[in-house]
Chain A
Amino acid sequence: MGHPTASRMLRPMQVSNTRARSDIQRPAGLFARVDARELLFRGLVTAVAIGLVLLVALMIYELAHEALPAIRKFGVGFLWSTDWNPPKERFGALPFIAGTLVTSLLALAFATAIGVGAAVFLVEFAPGWLRVPLSYTIELLAAIPSVVYGLWGVFVLGPWIQHTAGPFLLRYFAWVPFVDGPALGVGILAAVLILTIMILPTIVAISREVIAAVPRSQREGILALGATRWEMIRIAVLPYARSGVLGAAILGLARAIGETLAVALVIGNSTAIPHSIFSPAYTMASVIANQFREVENDMHRAALIYIGLLLLLITLLVNAIARALVWRVTRGQSTTVIE
């Protein structure tokens, strides 16, 4: 889903300049008059902008309202109950919360390790002729629709896990906790791999920006002290870029948590708590995608909307933290990440 850094290219170089002076008022003199149309125009665009804030509030209210029957009946216990039984109208969200946490945190770990490495490569190692085409290709990865990742997951990644990766892991790594058969193809591992691929562009793009923003003098200083290139990166570059990279990771996490169809196609759809990396499971978003159209009763629908409300609140929180971190590093510039 999306284009991580269109904004970087869209970003004006001289923004801060323009901004600083952009409020110069028209001279108010003898011929100035109160222009009703000026007030009208300003009021109109302001109203629309405030409307966006109200929209987010309305979303929270509306989901809470529709989830009310489930909230009344199950309360906070909904969060840790594992019982998901639509015909008997008993609902608990723990299997989905667990599935979401496990898949998105694992994907985040993989994607951060690879993504920050790739960002360092792009900024510090890649020769000039490679830098632009490589960044460009990574950004295109973000433009491929979620459902296409899912299709690829079903027909390519799933069978590969079932026939190649799964048996290999079970044979040589069965002693590792949570590596436990059978490898069905669909399940936690497939979802983790798909999510890793999908959030990589976000993490690479933002990390690259914050790493590139580390002042040159910082690098030169430590090189002059005799550091190797890796020591320079470890001591002078990464600590400086830390909070921005953290913001990038959290933004990636938000994407992974909200990702729906690609995951819905490969996670295997099971309401049991996953016990192995090959277990079929469900995430909060994918259970909504798969069950909402065929709800068995009103309580089932309210419970799914309850999950949707939790998902909304979690992603709002995670996004707010991430934006705040990235904003602090980039000083308010270049924060639109078109996802």
Chain B
Amino acid sequence: MIAISAADRRRRSIIDTIATGLIVAAGIGVIVPLFAILIFIFFKGLPALSLDLFTQNPGPTGVPGGGVKNAIVGSLVLLLLAMAMGLPLAIAAGIYLAEYGRSRLGFAIRFVVDVLAGIPSITIGIFVYTVIVLPMGRFSAFAGGVALALIMLPIVARVTEEMLLLVPQITREAAYALGVPKWRTIITVVVPGAASGIITGIVLAAARVAGEAAPLLFTALGNNFYSRDVLRPIDALPLRIFTYATGPFDYQHEQAWASAFVLVMLVLALSVLARAAIQRRAR
């Protein structure tokens, strides 16, 4: 029989109160930075926003005015290149993991894909520099697209896997019963059944790489001029923000905040949309 004294009970109750206070503070405190950042993006970015930002290219360095049209177009080109190169491979890998990946090999590949997702994007940039930029002898939008594709690959592969596993087994069996071979069942029944989920995952991955600048530093390089040429250096919105954040001129800082506003709105809109779609599916 353990006797619990009143003093002991009070001490425990005080500790409980302190711990509860700290935990509540952590729970509330964790969203403070988000608001701190969003508030500044609004108050610094919104006033600097103008039509020129979207319709003009950067002027000569040091001359106020101009815009970031080349960077916006560049980001779109890079995103399209990354999706064109990365998505077919990612979806194929996802199909393998979901439909054929229950072996030891599948387990190992799943592990490597997860690890691949954790490789720093700057390292991916150097890798693409050594395998594409050096042999081609030039920086290019193509190299930038490859770098972004490599970042999308593991994300989309795993989302595809999880979405394919959501398709009820009974649907597959219905196809088998009709004499449809497994490969054709996957292409015509399973993948279309999971399509909306896969697309949602792709949108999330696109939102992620749209904000990446580190892998583009040594691949797409950035460009002060308007370019849509896949074999030449190209600008991107995150790269432009990086350049202007370190620039000496006030107009550069203003445009950096305005560009950050545009980028964050774009990325948040994509994330919110994708998440809403996921939640609707989950219900």
Assembled-state Cα–Cα distance A327/B114 (Å): 11
Which of B51-59, B76-84, B223-231, B239-247 sits within the interface? B239-247
B238 and A9 contact, CB distance less than 8 A:
no
Give the contacting residue for A49; candidates B96, B124, B267, B271; CB below 8 A: B96
The answer to the question of B44 belonging to the interface, with a C-beta cut-off of 8 Å to chain A, is: yes
The answer to the question of B181 belonging to the interface, with a C-beta cut-off of 8 Å to chain A, is: yes
The answer to the question of A120 belonging to the interface, with a C-beta cut-off of 8 Å to chain B, is: yes
The answer to the question of B97 belonging to the interface, with a C-beta cut-off of 8 Å to chain A, is: yes
The answer to the question of B208 belonging to the interface, with a C-beta cut-off of 8 Å to chain A, is: yes
The answer to the question of B217 belonging to the interface, with a C-beta cut-off of 8 Å to chain A, is: yes
Give the contacting residue for A315; candidates B108, B112, B120, B169; CB below 8 A: B120
B20 and A125 contact, CB distance less than 8 A:
yes
Assembled-state Cα–Cα distance A336/B268 (Å): 20
Assembled-state Cα–Cα distance A56/B113 (Å): 9
Assembled-state Cα–Cα distance A304/B217 (Å): 14
The answer to the question of B159 belonging to the interface, with a C-beta cut-off of 8 Å to chain A, is: yes
Q: A147-B238, A289-B214, A308-B126 are in contact. Are A315 and B27 (CB under 8 A)?
A: no
Which residues on B sit within 8 Å (CB–CB) of A217?
A: none
Which residues on B sit within 8 Å (CB–CB) of A254?
A: 118
Which of A59-67, A84-92, A177-185 sits within the interface? A59-67
B20 and A122 contact, CB distance less than 8 A:
no
Closest to A201 in B: B30
A63 and B127 contact, CB distance less than 8 A:
yes
Q: A22-B169, A154-B245, A265-B246 are in contact. Are A45 and B159 (CB under 8 A)?
A: no
Assembled-state Cα–Cα distance A120/B89 (Å): 39
The answer to the question of B253 belonging to the interface, with a C-beta cut-off of 8 Å to chain A, is: yes
The answer to the question of B95 belonging to the interface, with a C-beta cut-off of 8 Å to chain A, is: yes
Chain A residues 111-134 with CB under 8 Å of chain B are 113-118, 120-122, 124-126, 134
The smallest C-beta distance from B101 to any residue of chain A, in angstroms, reads 7
Which residues on B sit within 8 Å (CB–CB) of A26?
A: 176, 181-182
Chain B residues 135-194 with CB under 8 Å of chain A are 150, 153-155, 157-159, 162-163, 165-166, 168-169, 172-173, 176, 179, 181-184, 186-187
Give the contacting residue for B37; candidates A18, A121, A144, A234; CB below 8 A: A144
Assembled-state Cα–Cα distance A34/B202 (Å): 35
A117 and B23 contact, CB distance less than 8 A:
yes
Which residues on A sit within 8 Å (CB–CB) of B101?
A: 49
Number of interface residues of B (CB under 8 A): 116
Which residues on A sit within 8 Å (CB–CB) of B187?
A: 41
Which residues on B sit within 8 Å (CB–CB) of A311?
A: 120, 122-123
Q: A50-B109, A323-B111 are in contact. Are A19 and B165 (CB under 8 A)?
A: yes
Assembled-state Cα–Cα distance A150/B114 (Å): 26
Interface string of A36-59 (1 = CB under 8 A from B): 011011101110111111011011
Which residues on B sit within 8 Å (CB–CB) of A285?
A: 120, 122, 214
Closest to B211 in A: A145
Which residues on A sit within 8 Å (CB–CB) of B124?
A: 59
Assembled-state Cα–Cα distance A116/B112 (Å): 27
- Please count the residue pairs between chain A and chain B whose beta carbons lie under 8 angstroms apart in the complex: 343
Which residues on A sit within 8 Å (CB–CB) of B158?
A: 7, 335-336
The answer to the question of A248 belonging to the interface, with a C-beta cut-off of 8 Å to chain B, is: no
B40 and A152 contact, CB distance less than 8 A:
yes
The answer to the question of B204 belonging to the interface, with a C-beta cut-off of 8 Å to chain A, is: yes
| 3 tightest Cβ-Cβ pairs between the two chains A and B | A145-B211, A258-B120, A121-B27
A interface, CB within 8 angstroms of B? 1-3, 6-7, 9-12, 15, 18-19, 21-24, 26-27, 31, 35, 37-38, 40-42, 44-46, 48-53, 55-56, 58-59, 62-63, 65-66, 113-118, 120-122, 124-126, 134, 136-141, 143-152, 154-156, 197, 200, 204, 226, 228-231, 233-234, 251, 254-255, 257-261, 265, 285, 288-289, 292-293, 304-305, 308, 311-312, 315-316, 318-320, 322-323, 327, 335-339
A3-B204, A10-B200, A52-B157 known, 8 other contacts, Cβ within 8 Å: A1-B212, A46-B96, A144-B37, A144-B211, A145-B211, A229-B20, A323-B114, A339-B117
B interface, CB within 8 angstroms of A? 4, 12-13, 15-16, 19-20, 22-31, 33-34, 36-37, 40-41, 44, 89, 92-93, 95-102, 105-106, 108-109, 111-124, 126-127, 129-131, 150, 153-155, 157-159, 162-163, 165-166, 168-169, 172-173, 176, 179, 181-184, 186-187, 197, 200-201, 204-205, 207-208, 210-214, 217-218, 221, 238, 241-242, 245-246, 253, 256-257, 260, 263-264, 267-268, 271-272, 274-275, 278-279, 282
